Amino acid sequence: MAWAPFLVIALAAVASAVGVVLRRNPLHAALYLVTNLFCVAVLYLLQRAEFLALAQVIVYAGAIMVLFLFAIMLLIPGRTETGPDPLRAARRLAVPVAGAFGLALVLVAARTGGSGAAPGPVGVAALGRLLFTDYLFPFEVTSVLLLAALVGALVLAKRTPS
Amino acid sequence: MVAPVWYVGLSAVLFTIGVVGVLVRRNPLVIFMSIELMLNAANLAFVAFGRIHGSAAGQVIVFFVMTVAAAEVAVGLAIIVAIFRARQRINVDDLSLMRW
């Protein structure tokens, strides 16, 4: 009974991830990525991580995807990835190499031994308590990081007067 | 609930798809999206590991990863836009100026 939602969402997540990689138009890839992010949000919900599911939708599917679409619109899609590819042989080789890597990863994942979940604190209250006690310093450093990224993006995107 | 090990396996599959995207695609925007795929796969694994150990610490780490991803996307897209302004093209294979 508990398997049905997981299987459906997992299949949708894998399919949309494949769509991100295969679609030529970056706009289509971005829409597939939104689908994938929503699927991962539902997977968080299925694992009782409600706060993360909401943050995923707001931060990733909201803010980050708007940034991506804005950049795609700014850079005019359709002219990229056309013409002959000088590295075609290397790219062909990349797929089996990545396949072997993925196989190794799945084998390691199968050995993690997480057949059952340990009982413990779950929910937003436990997360908030941990965030503001044990992880308070990294949490504060995060704000400095965001400020640095904000200033850095502004400096990079500013037109230099010539 | 489904056992955490299945979530870890799913995250391994998603991560591999992201790796293929980074290796195969030529458009830096799509490469960026593939990196986001990999970050999401790692987040999913973190939540599953937190469940295995019965701790909310895994979710705290995911929160930090999301913050770093937001910062990374802001700076990375600014770099791509700046390169496009300077070169008028965005093919990663053309940008070999700093390659050894």
pTM of the model: 0.89
pLDDT in tens, A50-68: 999 999 999 988 889 998 8
pLDDT at A24: 83
Identity at B32, one-letter amino acid code: F
pLDDT at A146: 94
Query: What's the ipTM?
Result: 0.90
Mean pLDDT over B49-75 rounds to 91
CA distance linking residue A66 with residue A123, whole number of Å:
29
Q: Closest partner residue to A29 among B20, B33, B93, by Cβ?
A: B33
pLDDT in tens, A5-17: 999 999 999 999 9
Cross-chain Cβ contact B21/A21 below 8 Å: yes
Mark which residues 29-88 of B lie under 8 Å from A by CB.
29-30, 32-34, 36-37, 40, 43-45, 47-49, 51-57, 59-60, 62-64, 66-75, 77-82, 84
> What confidence category does residue B3 fall into, taking pLDDT thresholds of 50, 70 and 90?
confident
Burial-class residue A45 by CB neighbours within 10 Å (0-12, 13-18, 19+): middle
pLDDT at A114: 63
pLDDT at residue B29 greater than cutoff 60:
yes
> What confidence category does residue B90 fall into, taking pLDDT thresholds of 50, 70 and 90?
low
A42 vs B: CB within 8 A: no
DSSP annotation string for chain B: ---HHHHHHHHHHHHHHHHHHHHH---HHHHHHHHHHHHHHHHHHHHHHHHHTT-SHHHHHHHHHHHHHHHHHHHHHHHHHHHHHHHS---GGG--TT--
Residue of B67 and A90 predicted with greater confidence: B67
Percent of chain A with pLDDT over 70: 88
Given a cut of 50, the residues of chain A with pLDDT beneath it are none
Residue of B49 and A158 predicted with greater confidence: B49
Cross-chain Cβ contact A148/B52 below 8 Å: no
CA distance linking residue B60 with residue A65, whole number of Å:
22
pLDDT at B86: 78
pLDDT at A94: 87
Percent of chain B with pLDDT over 90: 52
pLDDT at B54: 85
Cross-chain Cβ contact A86/B93 below 8 Å: yes
CA A54 to chain centre: 14
Q: Which of A14, A37, A40 would best serve as a mutation to test chain B binding (most B beta carbons within 10 A)? A: A40
pLDDT at residue B19 greater than cutoff 90:
yes
Contact B57, A130 (CB under 8 A): yes
Other Cβ atoms closer than 10 A to A34 = 18
DSSP annotation string for chain A: --HHHHHHHHHHHHHHHHHHHH-SSHHHHHHHHHHHHHHHHHHHHHTT-HHHHHHIIIIIIIIIHHHHHHHHHHH-TTSSS-S--TTHHHHHHHHHHHHHHHHHHHHHHHTS--SSPPP---SHHHHHHHHTTTTHHHHHHHHHHHHHHHHHHHHHHSPPP-
